[in-house]
């Protein structure tokens, strides 16, 4: 299944506690329809001391957000995403429905 969100996209969160905030997509989970956005949906995880983390304590980490709650940013404005065949390459590309330009 094709998703409108890809790794590296700048997205705006449109629902939830971080509504209206933007961030960069770090990882996408297509099988679960979720994505991790940098600095958004941060949870606190309590860790025991171990070989990696000898101190232990509370670690903050981003949790996945459902992709229906994310909108790709075209410059500074959020936009819907469409797909069409590029005239130059003949391949399927994503484009902004607001401006009509291709999204890299």
Domain ranges of the chain: 10-76
pLDDT digits (tens, 9 = 90+) for 13-26: 999 999 999 999 99
Q: What is the pLDDT of residue 99?
A: 92
Angstrom distance (rounded) from CA 42 to CA 36 = 10
If phi > 0 it is left, if psi is from -120 to 50 it is alpha, else beta; for residue 56 that is left
Q: What is the pLDDT of residue 4?
A: 93
The total of other beta-carbon atoms located within 10 Å of residue 100's CB is 11
Residue 103's nearest CA partner among 77, 73, 76 is 73
Specify whether the CB–CB gap between 104 and 86 falls below 8 A. Answer: no
Angstrom distance (rounded) from CA 104 to CA 101 = 10
Q: What is the pTM of this model?
A: 0.84
Q: Which residues of the chain have pLDDT under 50?
A: none
For the record, the structure tokens of 72 come out as 């790709």
CATH node for 10-76: 2.30.30.30
């Amino acid at each position: 299944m094709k998703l409108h969100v890809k790794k590296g996209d700048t997205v705006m969160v449109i629902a939830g506690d971080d509504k209206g905030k933007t961030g960069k997509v770090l990882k996408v989970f297509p099988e679960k329809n979720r994505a991790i956005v940098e600095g958004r949906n941060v949870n606190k995880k309590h860790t025991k001391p171990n070989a990696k983390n000898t101190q232990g304590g509370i670690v903050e980490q981003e949790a996945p957000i459902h992709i229906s709650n994310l909108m790709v940013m075209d410059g500074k404005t959020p936009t819907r995403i469409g797909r069409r065949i590029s005239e130059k390459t003949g391949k399927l590309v994503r484009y902004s429905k607001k401006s009509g330009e291709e999204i890299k």
